[in-house]
Amino acid sequence: MSEPSTIEKAGGGVATYVDQRVGSNKFLARNLGKVFPDHWSFMLGEIALYSFIVVLITGTFLTFFYKPSMIEVVYDGSYVPLKGILMSEAYASSLDISFDIRGGLLIRQMHHWAALIFIAAMAVHMFRVFFTGAFRKPREFNWLIGVVLVTLGLIAGFSGYSLPDDLLSGTGLQITRGIAQAIPVIGTWATFLLFDGQFPGSDFISRLYSVHILLVPGLILALVTVHLMLVWTQKHTQFPGPGRTNENVVGYPLMPVYMAKAGGFFFIVFGIIALIGGMVTINPIWIFGPFMPDQVSAGSQPDWYMGFLDGALRMMPNWETNLFDWWTISWNILIPAVIVPGILFTGLALYPFIEAWVTGDKKEHHLLDRPRNNPTRTGFGVMAITFYGLLWIGGGNDIIATSFDLTINSITWFLRIAIFVIPPIMFVVTRRICLGLQRRDRDKLLHGYESGRILRLPHGEFIEVHEPISIKDKAVIMSKTDITPLPAPERRDSAGVRNKRYHLQNVQHKLSGFFYAENIAKPSAAEIEAAEHHVAHEVALEAPLHAYEDADQINTFHGGVLHHPGMPQTNAEQLAERAQH
Amino acid sequence: MSDLTPHDSHANAPERLGYSPVADVPHALRMADTDPKAARRAERQVAAMFMLSMLLTIAFVVGYMTIDKTSIIYIPVFGDVGTSTFVLGLTLGAAIFLIGAGAIQWAKKLMPDVEVVQDRHDLASPASADQEALANYDRGKAESGFARFKLIRRTLIGALALFPIALLIPLRDLWTAPAGSPSPADLLSVTLWHEGLRIVTDPNLMPIKPEDLPIGGLVSGIPEDLEEVQELEGNMNARTKAAIILVRMDPSDIRAQQGDGWDYQGILAFSKICTHVGCPIALYEQRTHHLLCPCHQSTFDLADAGNVVFGPAARRMPQLPIGVDEEGFLVARSDFAEPVGPSFWERG
């Protein structure tokens, strides 16, 4: 042990000083060596976190220059085409940020790109968590927090996107007004309260501003903190592999590897967002012009994450009900804009509880599922993504129509039918693919890899050589847990007492069968041992050839014929012989 | 640190105090582990990245101070871009990126790459803690008398349930009704239009003579007094409801109207605000007389009383009855007969 340097002494001094006041060394002792597992997909959540931090940093900068006011002013900035035009102060200050504040456009575009990446990263992170079953006990709360975070992310994105008060964002608000107004009973009043009267009013931008910079980010920040604290205390899940069990964590310690890797990755994400923000234009508000409630540009498109709502609105048939000629229920708006997203997000939030109930599974899970090993869940996930994707396509139907020379009517009719037909097909197809992959895994365990090499044995028999699968592959495949469907409930127990929960249990039994009945069971330990023995035998048969191959590879072999002592054994020897002649 | 054990155990894995093997997975040594030269090289790479990052931050500051904010530069692939934004983005982005790249290179090349194992511990508390918590809870409950003092308990619950109302009630004044306190539904049902009010073009504010409008033509119109009203109200609410389009078609093409003779010599006036969710509409196909909303593609047939022919809108486009005044300019003959814009609950 060398003497501690001056810096280390000073650091130790600080640590002691802080520890005596907050007791931090206990925490450090426990956590500096905390192990985190490594996998590329674990970085998706990190991307979401880091882009959110970038959003906070750039957003704070923007608040210093943006004016959340709908007071009409005459624009007098550097952007010549709009000079002298009457516009809201919000729009004028957004133009100033873009043209008259150095670095302003860079920060504005970084803010927008980071927000898009934030939501995209959350979505993909959620896919990873869903398809690997990381939401299972004990992580259900964190899944719920995640669903709320995605929802808040959408609200944050939409509210921010509406602030510049340009023509495009104003059209978005106009649509929002139409949706809010369609809510039965309270809709009209709620809209008037939101907009301080009729649309567009003169207060909405400033109200939206406080939602965008205080309420929503405050909630996101609080929930992100809880989300991370839970990840910390519950320890991260890990993918199966050799030595990885449900009771341990295999990976690298926080200090130094994860500090460097995760900390470094923050700078990577931040840097890439800055590069994109400087080089790729996003939301060129100066092209759209100031908001006017009676103007619109064709091909208006929302940010990507709102596209599914727009598509749902476009796809919906024009149903409306009049109750006694007194009241209106606008199904054409309620279903696509309120009910469908409501079902989608509620389903998402409840899924972990539904699956746990169906499977009767009460165990803790820290080892991740491979998507194929839970075909029904994976099928549901793909089905939901397909459903969302079709809505999204609907949101771009005008662009598709002009790009591919189709009529909007035919695309809309296709989607109206497809939305009911294609997701279930995708469910079935995905499920079959998963089961097929399970069979393949079973085959690998029982027969090893098919090497593709045909071997002729001395007595003339031809066999294909199977190679043993690697330790890693074996561990991964063996990580599958076979779940047996719940048994059918009894109407009466042995004492003849009627089972009061029979119907509920029967539903559970049927669903559980639906989930797991077709599951391909893992081979037993004895079967695997026999298989390994067999593979080892084949490998032994081929071994002399390998010895021959090992020295040097030229691949001018003698057609898989076994060689005997005295004949040239290796390429190296052959070459040596040639060199002699 | 005693529960840290190396996961990869291979003969040539770097030895670390207190670790023991858990699984037999081959571990390949990196160049930097075996060759001091490679390690030196990696060290220099990392330092170079950090150094370059410093230089780029300085470049950012210089760029900020020297580049004219209006200057434009041509960059291949990107085209004409604002010099300032491009240079600032490039220097800032690269400066930050290099810090990250350096740190990760450091971790990958020079820090241990042997996985270690840590045990998980039960998340649930031990039974003794459960009992202690329960005992504490029971004691607290008994000491407070929460169960005994029924009156206190019920009044407390009542007070807690009521007080949020005081926080929510003031939200009522998010909107104050104007003089005469009309309801929201009343306000949504009227527009500026009334008998004799001239229609002017938007945005040039010119009154319109019927002969100015050719067959097949379309003009956006607003009430003559709209600008004054906007000035007075300080918002664009009136515009949102009063905006109209005027189209002229061969009178024999008109199959139906919302009221008898609401056209003037084949000129029809319709609201410009979509009855679906309120986007302004201006895509008119003169051959079919169809009006298409660019937002959600509701399509209205203006030759057939503005009825919906496709898309999500449930209601027809309201028609404004028009005529001419004594000077021969187009005027409204009344307000719309039905509310314009998106449906609402009280609309019926």
What confidence tens digit (pLDDT) does each residue in A342-375 have? 999 999 999 999 999 988 888 999 999 999 999 9
* Most confident range, picked from A94-103, A292-301, B23-32, B75-84: A94-103
Helices (H), A64-88: none
CB atoms within 10 A of CB A123: 17
Question: Does the beta carbon of A314 lie under 8 angstroms from any beta carbon of chain B?
Answer: yes
Measured between beta carbons, which residues in chain A are less than 8 angstroms from residue B74? none
Q: Which of A300, A322, A328 sits opposite B295 (nearest CB)?
A: A300
Is residue B324 within 8 A of residue B264, CB to CB? The reply is yes
Nearest chain A Cα distance for residue B266, angstroms: 24
Question: Which chain B residue is nearest to residue A189, measuring alpha carbons?
Answer: B184
Binary contact (A471, B23; C-beta < 8 A) = yes
Condensed to tens digits (0 to 9), the pLDDT of residues A481-530 reads 888 888 888 888 888 888 888 888 888 888 988 888 888 888 888 888 88
B21 Cα distance to chain centroid = 53
Question: Which chain B residue is nearest to residue A318, measuring alpha carbons?
Answer: B312
Residues linked to residue B264 through DSSP beta bridges, in sequence order: B267
Q: Would you call A452 helix, strand, or coil by DSSP?
A: strand
Determine the residue type at A382: V
Measured between beta carbons, which residues in chain A are less than 8 angstroms from residue B87? 278
Phi, psi of B142 (to 5 degrees): -65, -45
H/E stretch holding A420 reads helix A408-447
Assess whether pLDDT exceeds 70 at residue B149: yes
Binary contact (A327, B348; C-beta < 8 A) = yes
CA distances from A447 to A443, A465, A494 (A): 6, 10, 46
- Whether the upstream peptide bond of residue B26 has omega within 30° of 0, thus cis, is no
Nearest chain B Cα distance for residue A325, angstroms: 5
Phi, psi of B281 (to 5 degrees): -110, 135
Binary contact (B104, A191; C-beta < 8 A) = no
Domain ranges of chain A: 1-34, 450-472+526-580
Binary contact (A298, B283; C-beta < 8 A) = yes
Measured between beta carbons, which residues in chain A are less than 8 angstroms from residue B295? 171, 175, 296, 300, 310
pLDDT of residue B5: 44
Domain ranges of chain B: 5-117, 189-347
A31 Cα distance to chain centroid = 28
- Give the pair of three-digit tokens for residue B14: 């770097």
Residue A207 has, within 13 A of its CA and on its CB side, a CA count of 15
Q: Which of A188, A266, A272 sits opposite B93 (nearest CB)?
A: A272
- Give the pair of three-digit tokens for residue A67: 């004016």
Q: Would you call B256 helix, strand, or coil by DSSP?
A: strand
Q: Would you call B334 helix, strand, or coil by DSSP?
A: coil
Residue A503 has, within 13 A of its CA and on its CB side, a CA count of 1
H/E stretch holding A105 reads helix A104-131
Assess whether pLDDT exceeds 60 at residue A554: no
Phi, psi of B196 (to 5 degrees): 85, -5
pLDDT of residue A126: 97
Q: Which of A102, A264, A325 sits opposite B64 (nearest CB)?
A: A102
Is residue B278 within 8 A of residue A175, CB to CB? The reply is yes
Phi, psi of A454 (to 5 degrees): -95, 135
Question: Which chain A residue is nearest to residue B86, measuring alpha carbons?
Answer: A278
- Rounded CA-CA distance B23/B8 in Å is 6
Nearest to A285 by CA among A274, A276, A297: A297
| Chain A (18-37) residues lying within 8 Å, Cβ to Cβ, of chain B | 33-35
H/E stretch holding B81 reads strand B79-82
Paired sense of beta strands B322-324 and B330-332, if any: antiparallel
A426 Cα distance to chain centroid = 19
Question: Which chain A residue is nearest to residue B245, measuring alpha carbons?
Answer: A294
Q: Which of A192, A267, A315 sits opposite B99 (nearest CB)?
A: A267
Question: Which chain B residue is nearest to residue A235, measuring alpha carbons?
Answer: B120
CB contacts < 8 A, A to B, total 327
Strand ranges in A302-414 using DSSP code E only, listed in sequence order:
321-323, 327-329
Measured between beta carbons, which residues in chain B are less than 8 angstroms from residue A140? none
CA distances from A387 to A119, A179, A198, A211, A390 (A): 18, 21, 35, 30, 5
Terminal-to-terminal C-alpha distance of chain B: 72
Nearest chain A Cα distance for residue B187, angstroms: 8
Q: Which of A278, A326, A336 sits opposite B89 (nearest CB)?
A: A278
- The residue-averaged pLDDT of B168-178 equals 91
User: Which residues, in sequence order, are CB contacts of A538 under 8 Å at separation 6+?
Assistant: A448, A455, A463, A465, A466
Question: Does the beta carbon of A268 lie under 8 angstroms from any beta carbon of chain B?
Answer: yes
Condensed to tens digits (0 to 9), the pLDDT of residues B309-329 reads 999 999 999 999 999 999 999
Question: Does the beta carbon of A300 lie under 8 angstroms from any beta carbon of chain B?
Answer: yes
Measured between beta carbons, which residues in chain A are less than 8 angstroms from residue B202? 294
A58 Cα distance to chain centroid = 24
Assess whether pLDDT exceeds 90 at residue A388: yes
Confidence band for B282, pLDDT divided at 50, 70 and 90: confident
Condensed to tens digits (0 to 9), the pLDDT of residues B53-108 reads 999 999 999 999 999 988 999 988 888 899 999 999 999 999 999 999 999 999 99
- Rounded CA-CA distance B327/B198 in Å is 11
Radius of gyration, alpha carbons of chain B:
38
Nearest to B86 by CA among B111, B64, B105: B64
Question: Which chain A residue is nearest to residue B190, measuring alpha carbons?
Answer: A198
B346 Cα distance to chain centroid = 28
- Rounded CA-CA distance A397/A386 in Å is 16
Residue A127 has, within 13 A of its CA and on its CB side, a CA count of 16
Question: Does the beta carbon of A273 lie under 8 angstroms from any beta carbon of chain B?
Answer: yes
Nearest chain A Cα distance for residue B200, angstroms: 14
- The residue-averaged pLDDT of B13-21 equals 41
Nearest chain B Cα distance for residue A505, angstroms: 28
Confidence band for A559, pLDDT divided at 50, 70 and 90: very low
Condensed to tens digits (0 to 9), the pLDDT of residues A519-552 reads 888 888 888 888 888 888 887 887 776 665 555 4
Nearest chain B Cα distance for residue A499, angstroms: 32
Nearest chain A Cα distance for residue B241, angstroms: 9
Orientation angle between helical segments A525-550 and A408-447, nearest 10 degrees: 80
Determine the residue type at B348: G
Binary contact (B92, A278; C-beta < 8 A) = yes
Residue A389 has, within 13 A of its CA and on its CB side, a CA count of 10
Radius of gyration, alpha carbons of chain A:
31
Q: Which of A199, A294, A315 sits opposite B243 (nearest CB)?
A: A294
- Rounded CA-CA distance A257/B102 in Å is 13
User: What would be the CATH architecture of the domain defined by B189-347?
Assistant: 3-layer Sandwich (2.102)
Measured between beta carbons, which residues in chain B are less than 8 angstroms from residue A315? 312
CB atoms within 10 A of CB A12: 11
Report yes or no for ipTM above 0.85.
yes
Give the percent of chain A with pLDDT over 70: 93
Residues linked to residue B79 through DSSP beta bridges, in sequence order: B75
Condensed to tens digits (0 to 9), the pLDDT of residues A72-122 reads 999 999 999 999 999 999 999 999 999 999 999 999 999 999 999 999 999
- Rounded CA-CA distance B115/A251 in Å is 5
User: Which residues, in sequence order, are CB contacts of A515 under 8 Å at separation 6+?
Assistant: A355, A358, A359, A374, A376, A377, A483, A485
pLDDT of residue A575: 62
Binary contact (A320, B280; C-beta < 8 A) = no
Binary contact (B202, A313; C-beta < 8 A) = no
Is residue A51 within 8 A of residue A274, CB to CB? The reply is no
- Give the pair of three-digit tokens for residue A492: 């009466």
Q: Which of A175, A273, A320 sits opposite B279 (nearest CB)?
A: A175
Assess whether pLDDT exceeds 60 at residue A563: no
Q: Would you call A305 helix, strand, or coil by DSSP?
A: helix
Q: Would you call A9 helix, strand, or coil by DSSP?
A: helix
- The residue-averaged pLDDT of B181-189 equals 90
- Give the pair of three-digit tokens for residue A226: 């809880």
Phi, psi of A315 (to 5 degrees): -80, -25
What value does the mean pLDDT of chain A take? 89
Is residue B294 within 8 A of residue A398, CB to CB? The reply is yes
Binary contact (B23, A78; C-beta < 8 A) = no
Nearest chain A Cα distance for residue B116, angstroms: 5
pLDDT of residue A460: 83
Binary contact (A200, B240; C-beta < 8 A) = yes
Binary contact (A310, B296; C-beta < 8 A) = yes
Question: Which chain B residue is nearest to residue A297, measuring alpha carbons?
Answer: B294
Binary contact (B235, A200; C-beta < 8 A) = yes
Nearest chain A Cα distance for residue B174, angstroms: 5
- Give the pair of three-digit tokens for residue A281: 């234009």
